[in-house]
Amino acid sequence: MNIKRPYLVELLTAIALILAPFVLPWLGFSPSTINRILIWGLFGLGFDILFGYTGLLSFGQSAFYGTGGMFAAYLLTEANFPYVIVAIVLGAVVAGVVGYFIGLIALRRTGIYFAMITVAIAEVFFFVEFNPLSAYTGGENGLPGVPTPAFNIGFTVLKFGSDWTMYVFLAFWYFIGIVIALRIVRSPVGAILSAIRDNPLRAAALGHNIHGYKLTAFVVAAIYAGFAGGLLGTMQGFMPPDAFMFDTSGQLVMQTAIGGAGTLFGPLVGATVWLYLSDFFQNTLHLGATWKLVLGIVFVLLVVFLRRGIVGAIVDLCRVARNGTKAVEPVGFTTTGTASFDPAAIKPMPARRRGNGPASGPILHATGLSKRYGGLLANSDIDFSVDHGEMRGIIGPNGAGKSTFFRMLTCEVPPTSGKIVFEGRDITGKSVTDVCQLGLTKSYQINQLFDRLTVRRNLTIAALGETRGKFRLDLFKSLHNVVGLDEQVERTAALVNLTSRLDTPVSELAYGEKRRLEIGLALATSPSLLLLDEPLAGMSPRERIETVALLKSIARGRTMIIIDHDMDSLFELVAKVTVLQEGKVLVEGTPAEIKNNAKVQEAYLGGVHGEMA
């Protein structure tokens, strides 16, 4: 595990802000340029939480930048409001409220459709500022006469009228902004946002309300934008109308890409490069109107050769240097061999029952379950029941409807007809998030992991769904302060034989390790019913032996349903088997009965007859 250095980043940031006015002028930066960099950096902090950490590309941040700035400027000029900081804070709050209602609309779509909605939002706000609300915003003239802040501390009055005193004011608020942003990304909410960025469907399947967390990130970004807009007005003494322009949003996106998304400091570094080059091309090289063309070429080159941005490249170099002396393990190597890995010796993780139903008898009961896709009937009138503590196997030839049946049981897809009851509750039509919170979850046939994160963070995200519920706004709470979280992560890692790989990125794991982690994610939610979709698929014989031992250990005190094509391993695990054919239940029985059943042998067209005999 990495050695923790609390507040080191905050300390280095404070030192850099103190040194900047002494160093940057020697590099050709004017005081006004440095101040603009700080405002863009603060503006970008919220955007980086939205884009870099949550994966939502918005081109509408200028709407909130302008809204917060114009509201604060109007209070200070037209309404004669006397308190500059209070006005800026109120502007940020208004921007956040506007962001909340816009987020409710925009977040109904994902990907390119979300991005296009935000483009439209930026254009709408620009039009409204210039026309219907021009009496309040000044239209194309903006709002002049915005006062600079002044603080009466008794024996003197602190004024921030000059460039360097304004730098102190802006640096203070940037530092506050970065401290808050760091707290957010280090919190449980920050961990879940990173999961949504990497794999939103799996994040939802682990019990997290991804829409609620996306909306949270959207509002946070709007608040940061509104606050930065308020600072812009008081720095310039004038709130410009171009704060609403789409060009402002585009510039923010490019600065973040140059500096490095998902780093928090990327927007500040990107703004530094962007503003320095724009001033250099215009004022030193006198390129005239072609400066944007040259700057665009520089942007393309930086993004192509530094795909993770400047800060991302620096982080990667530091990681390589730190790990350079470590021995590199060959692909497929596992640090703990079969001889030393004994899942039976590890204390099993208890299944936590959420329902009030009886602790005996059926835990899951499905009746008349059918699923139709247009003219295709994938499953037809299936009756299925599993008792508490049972290990049930499901087999069937390819195309028998096994995966569709599993997806209906976990509420990933709604049945066309039929009813599903879990622990006494009717869960038909519920979301996959809700049923995970009730204690029913699955591992996937194709690994659904968070590849950019470590094993530890993957298991942490899974465990958070069980320890916190599907939505909680503990934005400033450290992950290490979540009761029982670290213990659950460590126990799950031990059970799936990944303790020595906890701080390894998932992308560096061997295939067998990824399959165990896939099971571990489902297990970390403490389900009372665990569904496993082909857990042995693609494994070597040795890995299959290890995984079968793992599944036997997991089964202690837990109900499991397993789909797999490895008959020998499956029959070793389960006491009862359900056979599907053409979307219907063909037969149920013990492994011995299924092996000798003529209908089953006919269903497989003799392909596994010898194996089953």
pLDDT tens-digit map of 565-579: 888 899 999 999 999
Q: Sorting pLDDT into bands at 50, 70 and 90, what band is 356?
A: low
- In angstroms, the Cα distances linking 181 to 303, 427, 499 are 24, 38, 30
- List of residues 6+ apart from 237 with CB closer than 8 A: 144, 145, 146, 147, 148
Summarised one tens digit per residue, pLDDT across range 410-436 is: 999 999 999 999 999 999 999 999 999
β-partners of residue 377 are 372
How open is the CA angle 71-74-75, to the nearest 5 degrees? Answer: 90
> In this structure, what token pair is assigned to residue 156?
């003197």
**Please, are residues 558 and 534 in contact by the beta-carbon 8 Å criterion?**
no
Average pLDDT for 510-532: 93
Total Cβ atoms within 10 A of residue 538: 14
Average pLDDT for 532-557: 86
Percentage of the chain modeled with pLDDT above 70: 92
User: 223 or 343, which is more confident?
Assistant: 223
Question: What is the torsion angle, in degrees rounded to the nearest 10, for the CA atoms of residue 41, residue 45, residue 51 and residue 52?
Answer: 90
Give the whole-angstrom CA distance, residue 399 versus residue 603: 12
The pLDDT value given to residue 337? 43
The pLDDT value given to residue 2? 45
The pLDDT value given to residue 533? 92
3-class SS of residue 343:
helix
Total Cβ atoms within 10 A of residue 88: 28
Phi, psi torsion values for 229, nearest 5 degrees: -65, -40
- List of residues 6+ apart from 510 with CB closer than 8 A: 331, 332, 333, 334
Hey, what CATH topology would domain 361-430+563-613 get?
Rossmann fold (3.40.50)
Average pLDDT for 291-305: 88
Question: What is the torsion angle, in degrees rounded to the nearest 10, for the CA atoms of residue 11, residue 12, residue 13 and residue 17?
Answer: 110
Going by C-alpha positions, the residue among 600, 467, 469, 441 that lies closest to residue 533 is 441
- In angstroms, the Cα distances linking 496 to 318, 348, 552 are 30, 11, 12
Q: What residue ranges do the domains of the chain occupy?
A: 34-268, 361-430+563-613
The pLDDT value given to residue 183? 96
The pLDDT value given to residue 359? 63
Residue 336 in this model has a pLDDT that exceeds 70: no
Buried b (16+ CB within 10 A) or exposed e, 229-243: bbbbbbbbebbbbeb
C-alpha dihedral sign at 590, 539, 510, 442? negative
Question: What is the amino acid identity at position 455?
Answer: V
3-class SS of residue 493:
helix
Give the whole-angstrom CA distance, residue 263 versus residue 285: 32
The pLDDT value given to residue 21? 95
Summarised one tens digit per residue, pLDDT across range 383-401 is: 999 999 899 999 988 888 8
Residue 355 in this model has a pLDDT that exceeds 70: no
The pLDDT value given to residue 354? 59
In the chain, what is the straight-line distance between the N-terminal and C-terminal CA atoms, in Å?
Answer: 50
- In angstroms, the Cα distances linking 238 to 138, 164, 329, 417 are 11, 18, 60, 63
Summarised one tens digit per residue, pLDDT across range 33-72 is: 999 999 999 999 999 999 999 999 999 999 999 999 999 9
Average pLDDT for 553-557: 80
Helix axes 266-279, 309-323, angle to 10 degrees: 130
Summarised one tens digit per residue, pLDDT across range 261-272 is: 999 999 999 999
Summarised one tens digit per residue, pLDDT across range 310-332 is: 999 998 888 888 776 444 343 33
Q: Sorting pLDDT into bands at 50, 70 and 90, what band is 357?
A: low
Average pLDDT for 545-567: 87
Summarised one tens digit per residue, pLDDT across range 139-191 is: 888 999 999 998 877 777 788 888 899 999 999 999 999 999 999 999 999 99
Average pLDDT for 471-496: 91
Give the whole-angstrom CA distance, residue 420 versus residue 411: 9
CA 33 to chain centre: 34
HEC-encoded secondary structure of 406-462: HHHHCCCCCCCEEEEEECCEECCCCCHHHHHHHCEEEECCCCCCCCCCEHHHHHHHH
What single DSSP character describes residue 52? Answer: I
**Averaged pLDDT of the chain:** 89
User: DSSP assignment of 512-526, as one string?
Assistant: HHHHHHHHHHHHTT-
Give the whole-angstrom CA distance, residue 392 versus residue 436: 19
What single DSSP character describes residue 281? Answer: I
Summarised one tens digit per residue, pLDDT across range 94-122 is: 999 999 999 999 999 999 999 999 999 99
Give the whole-angstrom CA distance, residue 500 versus residue 455: 10
Average pLDDT for 197-209: 96
Summarised one tens digit per residue, pLDDT across range 124-142 is: 999 998 888 888 888 888 9
Total Cβ atoms within 10 A of residue 97: 15
